[in-house]
Structure 1
Amino acid sequence: MAAIIAGSTSSLSLYRASTMIATCSRRMMMMSSSSSNNTASLSRRRCRRSSSQCSLLNKNCSWRHNSSSNNSIGNHQRRMMVSTTSRQINMKSTLQRPHLPNNRTTNKAAATSTTTIRTILSEATLESLLPRSPTLRHLVNTLNTSLLKPRPLPLPRYISPQHYSFTLSECFGHASFILVAASYATEDFLQLRIMAVFGSGAMLLFTYFHPHGRVLWLPLKWNLLFITLNSYRIGRVLFQRYMADQLGEEWKNFREQHLSVLDNVDFYKLISIATEETYEEGDVVMIQGTANPKVRIVIEGELEVLRDGTLTYVLEKGNFVSESGLHAGLLLSGSMEACGSIVVGPPFDYPSGEKKQQQNNHHDNNVQKKSSRRNKVRVLTWDRTELVQLLEADKGLRNSLKAALSWDIVRKLKTQRHMLVEGRVKDPTSWTKKREDQGISRYAAILQNMLRLPPEEVQAMSQELNKYRLIHHIDDADHERALAKCGWTKEEFRLGRQEKQDEFEEDDDMDEFESVRWRKVRRFSSKVVRTLLQ
């Protein structure tokens, strides 16, 4: 069949070439005829060789010839007639239509011949793209032959009387779209990425070994880019899971007991940017009224929180220190003013039913242990700005940490209630007043940090600020007190700016606008880069 098609193709080429030759010869003869007529009518000279050729076609010439010219013209006419006759005979044999396949050829043979032609074309196209290495050339040729080999599709005649064929390259093209469609229906991040890589890989084979014989470079390059990005994300997730599994038993137990809302990978992300600090009994962790750029969590020991020298509450294992609105979604970077002092006091047991029963049963032993045991505190410390950047980049981690901080607030409130029950608070009235002052001071520190931001960002955080006020029962009077402590009025806070008396106020505003604009551009570009790489 391939030989028949090759013969048909060559006959068609000869037919087209002979047609072009005949057309050119006719045009040349017409041009020669016109030139001979003009020469005869003007000068009546001896006809040249070109005019004698035209005289064979034009028999109605009216001018006379002498005997010598008649003899030469006659001889030339005979030569021209012989050459013209032989040319016509050759042209007739050449102009015969090539042998075409019979119309009775079956559909199966037609489909097979079409696929064979495509295979031949693809082999000719890939010949220039083959690598220089003999091994790679053999591999590419093998893949090209196997992927573009026509394979019959066995369909029963009651389904379709026609015969169909397919190639493995076409199967890879269909599989690519099927995998991409299936990836949209998955909820797991890793499964989606893996299916996207396999789908892009199948499309890569389809575009390189295309059935039409040409490499589709545009989709091939884009699929290479998609495979690279998704492979990086898959490798990053697998690496983080591996590193999370390599954490020690102490960290795994701590997560299960106090941060169970975080999965292993999220907990590893927090641990990876934290540093461990150790304090002994009598050390001061934080001083009231100073700037604090850190966020901490207690992993061992107990801390005392003082407001103007009065014990307000105690921080135990698993409690966060100086979270300052993170539980409400206030992602404030930089330093926060400390609303109280944090010190490492002498050890004491937290009042719980289980510990109380143990204290009653072993009172003498506990007294002896208290006299000999010293309080040692270990904390994990994060830089607030670095932690906020991590939370902004990872939405899942941000939601999980907010849930953990909400549970932490509940634990702190229960601890304060047990302090009243156990008699740790000597003056409940003064203790309540100090707790209220501490809450207002904490809210004022949050406002002070927010007011350093541009008005647009303050307005964007208004919803989170209202949530914080609702959680901590900050009414309008407390809100005005906190604003007054920051040097702002309620109207200025609503407008988002303070009244300035400086004569260069407009220039300062313009400089502030430019800095805010460039800050937004940098933040947006950094978010785009983190989104692509994470």
Structure 2
Amino acid sequence: MSIHLVSFVGHLAFFLTAISFVVKDIVVLRILAIFSSVAAIFYNYFHPMGSPDWIPLSWCIIFALINVWRVCQIYTEKYQVSLSSIELEMLDTSFSNFNPVEFAKLMRASHWESVDASTTLTKENEVPEKLYFVQNGSILVTRDAKEIARISDGTFIGEMSFINDSRASATTTTLTSTKLVAWDRLALDQLLSRNPTLSILLKHSISVDLTKKIKGQPDPI
């Protein structure tokens, strides 16, 4: 085996490892790690010193198998996910930073609520028990009994109270029959503490929603 070819493959193994450190997609990262391990296996088997270097070669085989197993597991979970048409619409719009598996985990911790008009969701200066996402409906936002905004589909309610663990800065009341996704705060806190990635993704979705509200002038609740 040409020493130049073996050396090239050795450099390729380290190059692929370096690239894997900067990619954000976990599947791409693991696929790069697999190819890096395969290149390292080739290099260590046809080692320039003339005989296989079995210690790194053995570990590279183990690393490759672990990453193959994890990639298969990720794709298996992905194809086992079952989302309704409404949930898929939410995923495509307000939760587009989630992948289907992560979004399914978040939705399993929630429940749907259908409420009539004039239902109070949060009360000013009280700590909300739930974080809401408006799937369909119209909400009146008041402070000191004065209207400050109206919000509708695709927005969170109680998001600032949830993030800051604080009291609601406004009262929210439904203007129409409204369909909501609701998360009990305690259960959601427990889920996010076990899944830091979900916590980051949810806070990103909330931040995007807050940005839209600020541009449209409604105050975060």
1:381 aligns with 2:157: no
Report what 2:54 is aligned to. 216
- TM-score, normalised to structure 2's length? 0.67
2:68 aligned with 1:250: no
- Determine if contact 1:176/1:203 at 8 Å carries over to the other structure: yes
Q: CA-atom RMSD, angstroms?
A: 4.1
Aligned to 2:12: 178
Structure 2: unaligned runs, 5 residues or longer = none
For residues 118-197 of structure 1, what are the structure 2 equivalents within 5 Å?
166=1, 174-182=8-16, 184-185=18-19, 188=23, 189=25, 190-197=27-34
Shift of 1:185: 4.8
Q: Which stretches in structure 1 are left out of the alignment for 5+ residues?
A: 1-165, 348-374, 417-434, 443-534
Are the counterparts in 1 of residues 127 and 161 from structure 2 also a CA contact under 8 Å?
Answer: no
Deviation at 1:324, TM superposition (A): 0.9
Decide whether aligned partners of structure 1 residues 195 and 173 sit closer, same or farther in structure 2, where only a CA change above 3 A counts: farther
Q: Write 1 or 2 for the structure with the bigger share of strand.
A: 2
Paired residues of 1:279 and 1:344 also in contact (CA < 8 A) = no
Within-5 A mapping of 1:62-73: none
SS in 2 for 1:342: strand
Q: Kindly provide the amino acid, as one letter, of the partner of residue 41 in structure 2.
A: L
Matched, 1:259 2:65: no
Structure 2 Cα separation of the partners of residues 405 and 237 of structure 1? 31
Counterpart residue identity of residue 379, structure 1: V
Q: Which amino acid aligns with 2:157?
A: V
Is the contact made by 1:176 and 1:199 (CA closer than 8 Å) also made in structure 2? no
The C-alpha deviation readout for 1:380-419, integer Å capped at 9, x for no partner, is 42635257648854697354652343124334x2xx6xxx
1:344 is aligned, of 174, 178, 197, to 174
Q: Distance in 2 between matches of 1:179 and 1:404?
A: 42
CA distance change for structure 1 residues 292 and 392 in 2, over 3 Å: closer, same or farther? same
The answer as to 2:215 corresponding to 1:410 is yes
Task: State the shift of 1:318 in Å.
Answer: 0.7
Structure 1: distance between partners of 2:191 and 2:160: 13
Q: What is the alpha-carbon distance in structure 2 between the residues aligned to residue 390 and residue 405 of structure 1? A: 25
CA distance in 1, matches of 2:34, 2:42: 13
Does the 8 Å CA contact 1:293/1:336 hold for their aligned counterparts?
no
What's the CA shift string for 1:134-188, capped at 9, x where partnerless?
xxxxxxxxxxxxxxxxxxxxxxxxxxxxxxxx27x99567424314414545765
CA distance in 2, matches of 1:178, 1:207: 13
Asked if the contact 1:279–1:378 (Cα under 8 Å) also holds between the matched residues in 2, the reply is yes
Cα distance change on mapping 1:183 and 1:242 into 2, 3 Å:
farther
Cα distance, 1:376–1:324 mapped onto 2, change above 3 Å: closer
| Contact map agreement 2:141 2:148 (CA 8 A) in 1 | yes
Distance 1:407 1:390 in 2: 29
TM-score, normalised to structure 1, is 0.33
Does the 8 Å CA contact 2:127/2:167 hold for their aligned counterparts? yes
Structure 1 or 2: more helix by fraction? 1
CA distance in 1 between counterparts of 2:98 and 2:191 reads 18
CA distance in 1, matches of 2:182, 2:74: 24
Structure 1 pair 196–213 and aligned structure 2 pair: CA distance change class (3 A): same
